[in-house]
A and B are shown apart, each in its own frame.
Chain A
Amino acid sequence: AQKITQTQPGMFVQEKEAVTLDCTYDTSDQSYGLFWYKQPSSGEMIFLIYQGSYDEQNATEGRYSLNFQKARKSANLVISASQLGDSAMYFCAMSGNNDMRFGAGTRLTVKP
């Protein structure tokens, strides 16, 4: 079975600084996708970034980048130049041949 682990329940970062949110995964599938979502207090899930297991280059979307290390089975999210609006829950997720699963999440707080 697939498993996603986020070991940081909460993180703090100073406004305008960069922050890394950790995500490790476990799967026996050869082909899979890795995602990051943001969930503000309103509850909606906002897609941030995607990395395919066969993609050799790390994905980037604006201020978001995914540090993909396949051998270590990690898919860390890097947010550059943090903004106050980045304060939210962040979830790592993985899709495989059977389903799509999420980690427990990391609550990020950006300090002014």
Chain B
Amino acid sequence: DGGITQSPKYLFRKEGQNVTLSCEQNLNHDAMYWYRQDPGQGLRLIYYSQIVNDFQKGDIAEGYSVSREKKESFPLTVTSAQKNPTAFYLCASSITLLGTEAFFGQGTRLTVV
């Protein structure tokens, strides 16, 4: 079945450590996105990518990094520079940036301990 997969579902990290969240899609979509969601709030755009080897910063890119070496993969690294990383992270993909539905993964809940 086609879809978008995020792993792990729950992740615990010690302060000062980098951690990488996985996002894989087999929908042959060009565009991929990472969003952060804090409790009771909306989605804020971290990074997005329109094509392989290209990505753009969203509204809250500081403390995060991404790569897009393959069309189907868009991993997000939460670095130690991110001051408040505890949140729910959602990855999404769409055929293009415009005019098509975005498909979402199940999300990763990151907790810093």
Contact with B along A92-104 (1 / 0, CB 8 A): 0101111111111
Interface size on B, residues (CB 8 A): 27
In angstroms, Cα B102 to Cα A47, docked, is 8
In angstroms, Cα B106 to Cα A43, docked, is 7
In angstroms, Cα B92 to Cα A97, docked, is 17
Across the interface, name the chain B residue whose C-beta is closest to A91.
B42
Whether, in the assembled complex, A44 has its beta carbon less than 8 Å from a beta carbon of chain B, the answer is: yes
Contact B41 A100 (CB under 8 A): no
> Taking the nearest CB of chain A, how far is it from the CB of B98, in angstroms?
5
Known: A31-B98, A33-B99, A52-B99. A100 touches B33 (CB 8 A): yes
Interface centre among A31, A33, A45, A107 (most CB of B within 10 A): A45
B90 CB contact (under 8 Å) in A32, A45, A95, A99? A45
Interface size on A, residues (CB 8 A): 26
In angstroms, Cα B34 to Cα A101, docked, is 11
Whether, in the assembled complex, A68 has its beta carbon less than 8 Å from a beta carbon of chain B, the answer is: no
Q: Which residues of A contact B (CB under 8 A)?
A: 6, 31-33, 35, 37, 43-45, 47, 50, 52, 91, 93, 95-105, 107
Q: Which residues of B contact A (CB under 8 A)?
A: 31, 33, 35, 40-45, 48, 56, 58, 88, 90, 92, 94, 97-104, 106-107, 109
